[in-house]
């Protein structure tokens, strides 16, 4: 859907929900309609901006999580615990350390 402001020659594309909301106020006076149109557009832009901020924040958190996982993998590899999924898995860490001690004891 599109709305055109003839004075400024601006074309605004809007979702159907926004268009339907505009149609519901069409019976009001021209000034009221213009104010309502601007309010609806501002609200739509605010919602869109909040959604974009949410997506950006979510992506940043995912990137941080990947970096932490990579760092944890590097640490596990460095200390000889490659087979362990996470340092939080205490049993796996203990088992892997015991294997390392056994190998050292056999040499």
> Whole-model pTM?
0.41
Query: In which band, very low, low, confident or very high, does the pLDDT at 84 lie, cut at 50, 70 and 90?
Result: low
- Domain assignments of the chain as residue spans, ordered by start: 2-82
Model pLDDT for residues 7-51, shown as the tens digit of each residue: 555 566 667 777 677 666 665 556 666 777 788 888 888 888 888
Q: Which helix H or strand E contains 84, and what residues bound it? A: none
Reduced 3-state DSSP string for 12-43 = EECCHHHHHHHHHCCCCCHHHHHHHHHHHHHH
Structure tokens at 25: 């106020």
E runs forming strands in 1-107: 2-5, 10-13
Per-residue model confidence (pLDDT) at position 42: 85
């Amino acid at each position: 859907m599109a709305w055109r402001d003839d004075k400024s020659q601006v074309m605004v594309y809007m979702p159907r929900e926004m268009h339907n909301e505009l149609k519901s106020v069409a019976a009001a006076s021209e000034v009221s309609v213009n104010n309502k149109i601007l309010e609806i557009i501002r609200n739509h832009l605010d919602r869109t901006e909040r959604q974009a901020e949410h997506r950006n924040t979510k992506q940043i958190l995912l990137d941080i999580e990947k970096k932490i996982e990579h760092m944890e993998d590097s640490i596990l590899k460095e200390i000889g615990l490659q087979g362990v999924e996470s340092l939080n898995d205490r049993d796996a860490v203990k088992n892997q350390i015991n294997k390392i001690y056994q190998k050292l004891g056999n040499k």
